[in-house]
Structure 1
Amino acid sequence: MNESEFNQKVDDTLFEVEEVLDDAETDLDFMNNGGVLTVICENQTQVIFTRQTPVKQLWLAARSGGFHFDFNGKTWVRDSDGALLNDVLTEIFSAQAGEKFSFDL
């Protein structure tokens, strides 16, 4: 994947995350600024997505830690253990926002 394709994939992914969060029952604020998506939960905890173009990774910071994801041609997988971004996001938002979301990224 070249840099342009990577950036488009991240943009598409962040847009899809925003679409899911738009339907939240809980009060979530989010802003996308320069490829950084910051989600602020009702309890003021944050989930932050950042693109890391040089290494072609999507990074995720949450209360439970920092995670790095690679795109394998089909989906985003955590580099440390192969966990799917969809599953990790479901866990993170369940813990931080108290709501279970279904992601299909």
Structure 2
Amino acid sequence: MSLTEARFHDLVDETQNTIEDIFDESGLDLDLESSAGVLTVKFENGTQLIISRQEPLRQLWLAAPAGGFHFDYDEEEKRWVCDKSEELLGEMLQRLTLAQAGVEIEFDAIDGHYDGNR
């Protein structure tokens, strides 16, 4: 059930690239920074989302004004799932972006499509 290190890094890279693409295409006034496995989304109002890889746990972490959230990858369903609420990463990003930027953006592209091909 545990992801290999290589698969984990590929999944996180793909996820972060997809999130960047979605935000780039959204038309929102924000800054995106990606460095060393950490993607930071800075909104116009000064709030931010930080999406980072936690290699030892094979988790993707999301830090937001609403709190910190940890996601495990469900290999069978091909999606990131919050280890506490079972909310999908895309659903949570949609909800948090609406709360922080007042705009609804679809993040469906990151829930349930990872098969190694973007």
| Common topology (TM > 0.5) | yes
The residue identity in structure 1 corresponding to 2:94 is: T
Matches within 5 A, 1:22-61: 22-61=24-63
**Cα distance, 1:26 vs structure 2:** 2.1
Q: How does 1:75-94 map to 2 (within 5 A)?
A: 75-94=79-98
TM-score, normalized by length of structure 1? 0.97
TM-score (norm 2): 0.87
Range with greater deviation from structure 2 (71-80 or 17-26):
17-26
**Residue 62 in 1 paired to residue 64 in 2?**
yes
Q: Which runs of 4+ in 1 moved over 4 A?
A: none
Residue 14 of structure 1 is matched in structure 2 by: 16
| Count of aligned positions | 105
Which sections of structure 1, spanning at least 5 residues, go unmatched? none
What residue ranges of structure 2 are gaps of 5+ in the alignment? 111-118
Identical amino acids, percent of aligned pairs? 45
Kindly provide the amino acid, as one letter, of the partner of residue 94 in structure 1: L
Compare relative contact order (CA 8 Å, sep 6+) and give the higher one, 1 or 2. Answer: 1
Task: Report the aligned-residue RMSD.
Answer: 0.7
